[in-house]
Amino acid sequence: MYNKITIFSIAFLLSNFLLFSQTSVERSPNLHDKVNLFMEDIDPGIIEISNKIHPEGTILMKPEIFISKDSLLHLMGVDPQNTFLLARERSSRFIEEVVFRNYEQFFNGVKVESGGLTIKSKKNNNEIIHFSPNIYYNISANTIPLIGESSLVNILSESDINSSELILTERLVLCN
């Protein structure tokens, strides 16, 4: 009797695992209009290389697929004006051969606030395991500052400005 229950339990768990392990693509209904636009109309090439695409855009890669970060960004429709620079790298606390790399997004050399991606990959060959993008698309911005640093000092009435940095953001609103 005990063996029948054990065999039934194993068969039940295995059938559920096989049933839910197929590629699934879900779309998030509340996406920011300029972030992760690839989720609106997912390229068949991304579906082909993915085990699963989560609603927020995290892509779990098929283990037999090897693709570079740049090739994946190209598949996602990221235009060449956007670059991604390594901001942080850390090893997994649980799996010795895994590393997480955080990249910041830049548009024409200007940092895009909150834009970037995280890649979980194998240390030895950079094989991507999963990919979590927070990429801004269709950026239309003049990246040449209209106000020089000396004018900024006068506008802010502050002479103790140590450094300045141009950042693309949507948090600032100009009011009349």
For the stretch 157-166, pLDDT in tens is: 666 666 666 6
In the block, residue with structure tokens 């590393």? 99
pLDDT of residue 25: 42
If residue 155 lies in a helix (H) or strand (E), which one and from where to where? Answer: helix 149-156
More confident residue, 110 or 125: 110
User: What does the pLDDT average to over 89-107?
Assistant: 92
**CA distances in angstroms from 80 to 28, 92, 108, 167, listed in the order given:** 26, 31, 9, 18
Tens digit of each residue's pLDDT (9 = 90 or more) over 33-52: 445 555 666 778 888 888 88
Residue 8 has pLDDT above 50, yes or no: yes
pLDDT-derived band at 77 (thresholds 50, 70, 90) equals: confident
Mean pLDDT, the chain, rounded, equals 75
- The domain locations on the chain are 24-139+164-176
Task: State what percent of residues in the chain have pLDDT above 70.
Answer: 63
Please report, as a single letter, which amino acid is at residue 80: P
Per-residue pLDDT averaged across 90-118, rounded?
91
Token pair of 83, please?
């670059």
Task: Count Cβ atoms below 10 Å from residue 58 Cβ, excluding itself.
Answer: 16
* Stated pTM of the model: 0.67
Query: Within its chain, how far is the Cα of 133 from the centroid?
Result: 1
As its CATH architecture, domain 24-139+164-176 has: Roll (3.10)
Backbone φ/ψ region at 57: left (φ over 0), alpha (ψ -120 to 50), beta: left
Would the pLDDT of 115 be above 70? Answer: yes
